[in-house]
């Protein structure tokens, strides 16, 4: 029987507390409206922004959860981890508005048939480039954190299952970063050869689910193999 992952419980560190505060502030910037609606009509207008807020919140929560799991699993707070965390928080804050703008634009297209004044058709590819660069940067930084823990697996005394989980998490973050980068590059290429098809770059993000399902199945096979050995 292979040793299972251990839970390293400890007090929340200052870097974790600061990270939680930054993620919380980022979510605050996503809110549909800072003002309480005064009429039912205003409430209905505000509710139109709920789908975009929900997706944006889910994207931020994914980043926070992966960052949280890193600290709970490895208890690493060396200069490299602090530096990568600082870059990650910078990216999160910088890309809050592009994140909100993109999904607000997507849902306005689906629900209202588009908002011509929000963005020109010729500028859509730039939106996908900006958003893709942010996705690639955020998940690339998470991949660097997990790779750092993997390289220090002996020092951290990780169990075989923890080593396997860390390796799969590296693959997962690299895969998601690659999808964001591919979307940005595809948007630039399509803008040159077929501008009317630039929207295809946005469909690349459906690969998030495919990537996570594939790696989840791979993780399950490895766990069963290690348990049976």
For every residue of 102-124, DSSP letters joined together read HHHHHHHHHHHS--TTT--GGGH
Stronger pLDDT, 50 or 190, i.e. the higher one: 190
Position 2 in a domain: no
pLDDT score at 39: 75
For residue 84, what are the domain limits? Answer: 14-228
Q: How many domains does the chain have?
A: 1
Output the pLDDT for position 189.
92
- Output the pLDDT for position 2: 45
* Six token digits for residue 20: 């939680």
Question: What per-residue string of b and e applies to 175-192 under the rule 16 or more CB within 10 Å gives b?
Answer: bbbbbbbebbbbbbebbe
- Note whether 176 and 129 are within 8 A (CB): no
pLDDT of residue 229: 64
User: Please, which residues have CB within 8 angstroms of residue 137's CB and are 6 or more apart in sequence?
Assistant: 87, 91, 177
For residue 41, pLDDT over 90 is answered with no
Structural domain includes residue 6: no
Higher pLDDT, 12 or 177: 177
Flag the least confident range among 76-85, 180-189, 192-201. Answer: 192-201
The answer to whether position 166 is within a domain reads yes
Calpha distance 196→216 (Å, rounded): 35
Query: 99 lies in a domain?
Result: yes
pLDDT per residue as tens digits for the range 124-141: 888 889 999 999 999 999
Residue 4 confidence class, pLDDT cut points 50, 70, 90: very low
- DSSP per-residue string spanning 27-85: HHHH-S-SSPPSSHHHHHHHHTTHHHHHHHHHHHHHHHHHHHHHHHHH---SHHHHHHH
| pLDDT tens-digit readout, 78-118 | 999 999 999 999 999 999 888 888 887 777 766 655 544 56
Contacts of 112 (CB under 8 A, 6+ apart): 48
Average pLDDT over residues 174-194: 93
Distance CA 128, CA 43 (A): 30
**218 is a domain residue:** yes
Residue 4 placed within a domain: no
pLDDT at 1 over 50: no
Which of 24-28, 33-37, 132-136, 191-195 has the least mean pLDDT?
33-37
Whether residue 175 lies inside any domain: the answer is: yes
Flag whether 9 is in a domain: no
| Mean of pLDDT values over 199-207 | 87
Q: How far apart are CA 187 and CA 200, in angstroms?
A: 8
């Amino acid at each position: 029987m292979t040793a299972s992952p251990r839970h390293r419980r400890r007090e929340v560190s200052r870097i974790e507390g600061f990270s939680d505060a930054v993620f919380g502030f980022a979510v605050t910037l996503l809110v549909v409206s800072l003002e309480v609606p005064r009429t039912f009509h205003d409430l209905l207008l505000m509710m139109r922004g709920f789908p975009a807020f929900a997706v944006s919140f889910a994207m931020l929560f994914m980043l926070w959860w992966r960052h949280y799991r890193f600290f709970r699993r490895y208890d690493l707070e060396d200069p490299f981890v602090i530096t990568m965390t600082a870059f990650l928080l910078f990216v999160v804050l910088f890309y809050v508005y592009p994140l909100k703008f993109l999904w607000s634009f997507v849902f306005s297209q689906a629900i209202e048939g588009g908002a011509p004044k929000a963005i020109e058709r010729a500028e859509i590819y730039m939106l996908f480039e900006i958003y893709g660069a942010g996705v690639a940067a955020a998940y690339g930084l998470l991949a660097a954190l997990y790779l750092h823990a993997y390289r220090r697996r002996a020092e951290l005394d990780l169990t075989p299952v923890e080593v396997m989980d860390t390796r799969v998490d590296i693959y997962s973050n690299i895969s998601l970063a690659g999808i964001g980068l591919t979307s940005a590059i595809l948007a630039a290429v399509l803008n040159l050869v077929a501008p009317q098809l630039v929207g295809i770059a946005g469909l690349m993000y459906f690969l998030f689910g495919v990537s996570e399902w594939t790696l989840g199945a791979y993780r399950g096979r490895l766990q069963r193999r290690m348990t049976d050995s």
